[in-house]
Amino acid sequence: MGKKQNTDNDQIQHEIRVQQKFSTAGAIGRAGSGLLKGESPVSLQDQAINALTRWIDQQTPDPSGALKSILRRKIRGNELLVANHLQHPLNVLRELINSILASDYALEEFVRQVDVRWGELYQERPLFQQAGQAAKPADEYTHKSVRQDLTLLRKKLQESV
């Protein structure tokens, strides 16, 4: 009975194709109709990046958005790290935060990038804190405040495991 159904289906498909006008789109659709059966059209890499960006957006208290933006940019720009953690994407963010907090220089550079992004978003001159100097009172992203934000994020990551 299964063989008869296949033959009937083939005949029906043949009749439909005979009556249809040929188009390149139709040919491509027929040729690739079974390519993604059971698979997501979104790669595992993109799924992991999307999950990370959603987590950052939901868990990061950042009213201006510059800190979130730079974290997302660093994740998108580090394909190898993401590829190594496809099964546990939050480990990407954990490693990224740990590397930023590992040295004062890395933190200062990260804060500089966040300040630049803030300036781009608000079309204003960013307030750069120099190493060893006190932050300006109006500076939203200081070395101390970003360190606290990243430490809080790292703690949230540990709690979510």
Count of domains for the chain: 2
Quick check: 157 and 90 in contact, CB under 8 A?
yes
Q: What is the mean pLDDT of residues 108-119?
A: 96
Which one is predicted more confidently, 39 or 59?
Answer: 59
Residue-range definition of the domain harbouring residue 10: 2-31
39 found inside a domain: no
38 found inside a domain: no
In which band, very low, low, confident or very high, does the pLDDT at 67 lie, cut at 50, 70 and 90? Answer: very high
Which one is predicted more confidently, 75 or 4?
Answer: 75
* 13 and 71, same domain (yes or no): no
Which one is predicted more confidently, 144 or 23?
Answer: 144
* 90 and 69, same domain (yes or no): yes
* 95 and 24, same domain (yes or no): no
Say what the pTM is: 0.74
Give Cα separations from 89 to 14, 149, 152 (angstroms): 46, 20, 18
* 76 and 120, same domain (yes or no): yes
Strands of 78-151 (E only): list them.
none
Q: Dig out the tokens for 158 from the structure.
A: 């540990």
36 found inside a domain: no
Q: Which residue has the tokens 């987590």?
A: 55
95 found inside a domain: yes
Residue-level pLDDT at 47: 94
Residue-level pLDDT at 30: 66
* 51 and 19, same domain (yes or no): no
* 23 and 66, same domain (yes or no): no
